[in-house]
A and B are shown apart, each in its own frame.
Chain A
Amino acid sequence: MKRRFVETIALALLRGTAFAVLLATILLIGSIVRGGAGVITWEFLSATPTEGMTHGGIFPAIFGTICITLLMIVMALPLGVCAAIYMVEYAGSSGLARVIRASVNNLAGVPSIVFGLFGVGFFILFIGRSIDRVRGGGLLFGQPAMLWAAATLAVLVLPVIIVNTAEALTAVPRSHREASFALGATRWQTVRRVVLPQARAGILTGSILSVSRGAGETAPILFTGCAYFLPRLPIVHLGVPFTGLSVPMVNPLDQFMELSYHIFIMATQSTDAAATRPIQYGTTLILVALTFILNLAAISLRVRYRRGLESR
Chain B
Amino acid sequence: MDSRIESKIGKAGTVPVVPGAVRRLRRGRWREVFIETFLRLNGFIAIAAILLIFIFLFKEGIQAFRTIPAGHFLQSQELDFDNVPQTVRLWQPVGQNPKYSLIPLLLGSFLVALPGTLIATIFGVACGIYLAEIAGKRTREVIKPAIELLAGVPSVVIGFFCLATLATFVQDALGTTFRLNAMVGALGVSLVIVPVIATMTDDALRAVPGYLREGAHALGANRWETITRVVVPAGASGLVAAILLGMGRALGETMIVLMATGNAAQVTLNPFDSVRTMTATIAAELGAVPQGGEQYRALFLVGSLLFVMTFLINLVAELAVARMRRRLAL
A-side residues, CB < 8 A to B, are 3-4, 6-7, 10-11, 13-15, 17-22, 24-26, 28-29, 31-32, 35, 78-80, 82-83, 85-87, 89-91, 100, 102-107, 109-118, 120-122, 125-126, 155, 158-159, 162, 186-188, 209, 212-213, 215-219, 222-223, 260-261, 263-264, 267-268, 277, 280-281, 284, 287-288, 291-292, 294-296, 299
Judge whether B287 is part of the interface by a CB distance below 8 angstroms. yes
Residues of A within 8 A of B222 (CB): 3-4, 7
A-B pairs with beta carbons under 8 Å apart, 25 shown: A7-B224, A10-B224, A17-B122, A17-B130, A18-B130, A28-B150, A28-B153, A28-B158, A28-B161, A31-B165, A82-B43, A85-B39, A105-B318, A106-B318, A111-B254, A112-B252, A117-B286, A187-B36, A213-B152, A223-B286, A263-B157, A267-B164, A268-B259, A280-B160, A292-B149
Give residues of chain B (260-291) contacting chain A, Cβ–Cβ below 8 Å: 279, 282-283, 286-287, 291
Select from chain A the residue with minimum beta-carbon distance to B187: A24
Taking CB atoms, residues of chain B closer than 8 Å to A109 are: 245, 248-249, 252, 310-311, 313-314
Q: Please name the residue on chain A nearest to B149 by beta carbon.
A: A295
A223 touches B287 (CB 8 A): yes
Q: Taking A14-B126, A158-B50 as contacts, is the C-beta distance between A113 and B134 under 8 angstroms?
A: no
Q: Please, which residue of chain B has its CB at the minimum distance from the CB of A108?
A: B314
Contact with A along B133-172 (1 / 0, CB 8 A): 0110000001101111110111111111101110000000
Nearest-neighbor residue (CB-CB) of B221 within chain A? A3
Q: Which residues of chain B have C-beta atoms less than 8 A from A85's C-beta?
A: 39
A117 touches B147 (CB 8 A): no
User: Which of A18, A82, A155, A217 sits near B39, CB closer than 8 Å?
Assistant: A82
Q: Which residues of B contact A19 (CB under 8 A)?
A: 143
Q: Is B88 an interface residue (CB 8 A)?
A: no
Quick check: A28 and B310 within 8 Å, CB to CB? no
User: Is the CB of B212 closer than 8 A to any CB of chain A?
Assistant: no
The interface residues of chain A lying within 8 Å CB-to-CB of B318 are: 102, 105-106
For residue B73, CB closer than 8 A to chain A, the reply is no
Residues of A within 8 A of B29 (CB): 186
Q: Does B118 contact A (CB under 8 A)?
A: no
Binding site of A, secondary structure by majority: helix, strand, loop or mixed? helix
Q: Please determine whether A17 and B126 come into contact, CB atoms closer than 8 angstroms.
A: yes
* Bound-complex Cα distance A295 to B149 (A): 7
Q: Once the chains are docked, how many angstroms separate the CA of A307 from the CA of B118?
A: 36
Q: Which residues of B contact A83 (CB under 8 A)?
A: 39, 42-43, 45-47
Asked whether any CB of chain A lies closer than 8 Å to the CB of B231, the reply is no
Would B50 and A104 count as touching, CB distance under 8 A?
Answer: yes
Say how far A18's CB is from chain B's closest CB, in angstroms. Answer: 4
B66 to chain A, nearest CB (A): 16
Residues of B within 8 A of A6 (CB): 224
Chain B CB within 10 A, most for which of A117, A188, A222: A117
B207–chain A nearest beta-carbon distance, Å: 14
Across the interface, do B145 and A299 meet the contact criterion of CB distance under 8 Å? yes
Q: Is B239 an interface residue (CB 8 A)?
A: no
Contact of B46 among A79, A102, A277, A292 (CB under 8 A): A79
Which residues on B are within 8 Å of A, measured CB to CB? 28-29, 31-32, 35-36, 38-40, 42-43, 45-47, 49-50, 52-53, 56-57, 60, 122-124, 126-127, 129-131, 134-135, 142-143, 145-150, 152-161, 163-165, 191, 194, 198, 222-225, 245, 248-249, 251-255, 258-259, 279, 282-283, 286-287, 291, 299-300, 303, 306-307, 310-311, 313-315, 318
Q: Is the CB of A264 within 8 A of B300?
A: no
| Contact between A18 and B127, CB atoms less than 8 A apart | yes
**Given pairs A21-B124, A260-B156, A288-B154, 6 additional interface contacts (CB within 8 A):** A90-B39, A112-B254, A116-B286, A117-B282, A118-B52, A299-B145
**Shortest distance from the beta carbon of A257 to any chain B beta carbon, whole Å:** 14
- CB of B50 within 8 A of CB of A28, answer no
Q: Please indicate the chain A residues that have their CB under 8 angstroms from the CB of B251 in the complex.
A: 111
Chain B min CB distance to A36 (Å): 10
List the B residue with the shortest CB-CB distance to A280. Answer: B160
A268 contacts which of B152, B163, B254, B279 (Cβ < 8 Å)? B163
Residues of chain A within 8 A of B291, CB atoms compared = 125
User: How distant is B63 from chain A, measured CB to nearest CB, in Å?
Assistant: 11
B149 proximity list for chain A (CB < 8 A)? 25, 29, 292, 295-296, 299
> Known interface pairs A14-B129, A28-B150, A28-B153. Does A188 touch B43 (Cβ–Cβ under 8 Å)?
no
Contacts of B253 in A (CB 8 A): 111
Most buried by B among A6, A86, A291, A292: A86
Q: Are B159 and A264 in contact (CB under 8 A)?
A: yes
Complex Cα spacing A35 to B160, Å: 12
Given contacts A106-B314, A106-B315, A292-B152, contact A15 B191 (CB under 8 A): no
Bound-state CA distance A18–B125 (Å) is 9
- Contact A218/B255 with A17-B123, A18-B131, A113-B303 known, Cβ cut-off 8 Å: yes
A86 near B126 (CB under 8 angstroms)?
no
Beta-carbon contact of A111 and B47 below 8 Å: no
A86 touches B310 (CB 8 A): no
Chain A residues lying within 8 Å of B52, measured Cβ to Cβ, are 118, 122
Contact of A113 among B43, B152, B248, B254 (CB under 8 A): B254
Q: Which of A11, A158, A263 contacts B224 (CB 8 A)?
A: A11
